[in-house]
Amino acid sequence: MKHHAWRHDPAAYTAAGPLAARWADVDTRRHVNNIAVYGLHHEARWRWLLAVAGEQAFPQNTVWLRPQHGVTEFWHECHYPAPVLAGTRLTRLDSHRLQLATALWQQGRAVGAQHSTLAAWAPGGQLLQPLPTALAGRLRAHVQAVAEGDHPDAPEPPPASPMPVGADQIGHYPQQATLASRYGDLDADGGSSEAAVMRAIEQARAATLQAAWAAAGGVPERDWVSLVVARIALHWAHHGAPPPRWRLAGAVLHIGRSSTVLRVAVFNDPIDTDADNATPPTLQAMADCVMVYTRPE
């Protein structure tokens, strides 16, 4: 995405207005944490949906409009308290899903972009279904309005990449841990919130790095301090309610001189007392994460 000129051009998007990072979003590197930056893209998406589709964007008890796939790129660090400008653009629409491009700017430069495939999930977040007629009508009207306007042209994106083969199996991941869920992990519809799952992905990433560095004879807190996330390619298996605990899983795909690639996942971990007949964990979401070595900005 970074090498597409239109991704950096605010005129290519519908503005969502200024968004604010919070002091609570600042992490130990003294920048806005990547999960909080993801949350700004999430907010930009919802503001766009509300502006275009109104209450049809979140009809109660009929459909959950949630991501199925998404790629988020982090180009520069975001810092508190400077405001963040956000923009959103609809790039693809069919009977079951839509694709939204979002971008963030801070102090005059693009700091990152996201491309999300949103799908219509049946209530409960487990099964996909067609977009509701009213919502699809609002979106098609927007597509027509944009076609008659003066937005800069953008190339139509390719279809979202499928989930990697085997990534939905717990045995794919050598590093595993558990994480208890909380009431605060529920979203407004009673499913697992995007923020909660992203936090679990982050914890799985940290646990995988810690294990990898320790196995190599290093000191994790010292040796990984210069690693930051550059790209997260995320796939959702479902958006159901959080289980009592998640199983966090991770694998190292690549370690190079300038970057590390991790595959991490969040599984629903059934708590079985009968070990001989235990139910295997089921995937909720998985992500391939590119991390680069850098110095704080």
Asked whether the predicted pLDDT for residue 297 surpasses 60, the reply is no
149 has pLDDT over 90: no
Residues 2-50 have pLDDT tens digits of: 888 889 999 999 887 789 999 999 998 899 999 999 999 999 999 999 9
Burial 281-297, CB ≥16 within 10 A → b, else e: bbbbbbbbbbbeeeeee
CATH H superfamily, domain 1-161: Hotdog Thioesterase (3.10.129.10)
Single-letter amino acid, residue 225: V
pLDDT-derived band at 157, boundaries 50, 70, 90: low
pLDDT at 35: 95
Give the CA angle between residues 86, 186, 178 to the nearest 5°: 105
- The pTM is what? 0.91
Q: How confident is the model at residue 271 (pLDDT cuts 50, 70, 90)?
A: confident
pLDDT, mean over the chain: 89
- Rounded Cα distance between 212 and 175, Å, is 9
- Higher pLDDT, residue 275 or 171: 171
Q: How far is CA 140 from the centre of its chain?
A: 25
Amino acid (1-letter code) at residue 172:
H
Write down the CATH number for the domain with range 163-297: 3.10.129.10
Where are the domains positioned within the chain? 1-161, 163-297
- In this chain, the answer to whether the domains covering 1-161 and 163-297 adopt an identical fold is yes
